[in-house]
Structure 1
């Protein structure tokens, strides 16, 4: 019983119904649909701006989707009290001449489940990042592409750089912003969950996914990231370990910047910061795109 409950918290899909829309923000957009290499259908929005610069956003996992995160349906105890609207950053980028591609990772929002119908924390979702970049490339063959990759999105993107015929071969990508990349094992340790509960959950999750969740490590692929990368991290985030973030940053072999935020003691504060300080995010992309 405990194992299923803990595993559901970590890997159960479908916990992120779409709650926002581009119309609510006055944005011109198109509903889009494309497939990953394993046939999984992914859905999203293409927010229309300029033709020469495109941002591909990959969201954080489990309780998120392309539109962001909402506390609705999560009861009185939530990590953040207000909607985190990712369309805020989309609006900012579009006003500055970018187009902005927002899509749901498999098992999130309106995208289909993959052949492995659970959230893998990056190894499976890496296929979705590749598909989204390929869609953007086909739509905008002359454009520079920037990757805005948030938490599990950052892990997935880094795994995608390590794949055969991965993102290193997508030469239109010019820059990345990785917001709070997080290893599963680091998250579990930071939560302070009793060992017997963590082990019970891991046994169920490992059986569901078909691999040991403690083994994949996207930091092993960080050296293969081939574009300038800014890593953003809230130094007051209680759900991570700063040594892990530093290890990821140190493993990057490209032009890079570590932007440490001193904001509210919540992991979600940095997710919200992206929308309230979009110009600071955009300034990194402006340098290279």
Structure 2
């Protein structure tokens, strides 16, 4: 009887772990009702197809420039994120850049059943850059990225892997997805961090993706990069980001680290003037 009870508990625990893993790779979709027109700019609804056949939904916001910046949202967010994507779009347009913004796979209105939190999403960034170069070559003499959290991870990957991207701002980038994933269980689901070791196999099973650890790209990025880290970030420690900075600085003369007192992806919210000044100066210098 005791053996049967232990077996039932084990089965229930694995079933619960599988459920949590499923929910982690299939986040709720954030879809809002505002558009760039509410910010005073004309725009075009666009569909961007990736190399693996996923159709991404986005906005093209021309602004009469030959330079375009692509904001990249984080896990569970979308282009309708009011915390950092909306003010970033408005900031970039006021700075004079064109903006191309889209929902990552399995987010917003884009296709895709599961997120891989930085693995297959590199194909989404590559597709957006390809779309921009093919559809609007006159607007893409320089292409920059501003990424937040998962989008910051992909900003770092893109600087290493996508030649057309000239520079990037990475705000609150996770460096070790195992560590951030464990903290994320507590942050997003109010579950203990130790559960991650049991949930992780199911996230890989459902999504088909693998963990991406941006720290592994520290020796590969050779382009201008501004990293923003927050001392009150519950998902990523300043020490983890500083390790990337120190390693990358050995091969990249154009990396900057800005440490603030903000929580995860909230420097723009708590220090909007300084964020816009630092990011604006970085983009002007790197985008020309």
Q: Give the TM-score taking structure 1 as reference length.
A: 0.81
Q: CA deviation at 1:125?
A: 0.2
Which structure shows the bigger proportion of residues in helix conformation?
Answer: 2
Question: Larger relative contact order (C-alpha < 8 A, sep ≥ 6)?
Answer: 1
Give, in angstroms, the shift of residue 190 of structure 1. Answer: 3.5
CA 1:229–1:51: 2 relative to 1, 3 Å: same
Report which stretch shifted further, 225-234 or 16-25: 16-25
Q: Does 1:230 align with 2:226?
A: yes
Q: What is aligned with 1:64?
A: 77
Contact 1:47/1:90, CA 8 A, preserved across alignment: no
| RMSD (Å) for aligned C-alpha atoms | 2.4
CA distance in structure 2 between the partners assigned to 1:96 and 1:179 by the alignment: 19
In 2, the alpha carbon distance for the partners of 1:198 and 1:144 equals: 40
Alpha-carbon deviation of 1:202? 1.6
1:105-139 Cα deviation digits (max 9, x unpaired): 111111110xxx32111110010111111222221
Alignment of 1:66-145 (within 5 A): 66-68=79-81, 83-84=82-83, 86-113=85-112, 117-138=113-134, 139-141=136-138, 143-145=141-143
Deviation at 1:14, TM superposition (A): 4.2
* Map of 1:285 onto structure 2: 283
Q: Are 2:166 and 1:174 equivalent residues in the alignment?
A: yes
Instruction: Determine helix, strand or coil for the equivalent of 1:32.
Output: strand
Offset of residue 44 of structure 1: 0.6
In structure 2, the CA distance between the partners of 1:34 and 1:179, relative to structure 1 (3 Å rule), is: same
Q: Which runs of 5+ in 2 are unaligned?
A: 1-14
On the 8 A contact 1:150/1:181 being kept in 2, the answer is yes
Q: What's the TM-score, normalizing by structure 2?
A: 0.81
Matched-pair contact (CA < 8 Å) for 1:144–1:174: yes
Please give the alpha-carbon distance, in whole angstroms, between the structure 2 residues aligned to 1:96 and 1:151. Answer: 23
Change (3 A) 1:35 1:222: farther
Residue aligning to 2:180: 187
What is the rounded CA distance, in whole Å, between the counterparts of 1:85 and 1:258 in structure 2? 19
Q: Return the alpha-carbon distance in structure 2 between the equivalents of residues 274 and 15 of structure 1.
A: 28
Whether the 8 Å CA contact 1:180–1:232 is kept in 2: the answer is: yes
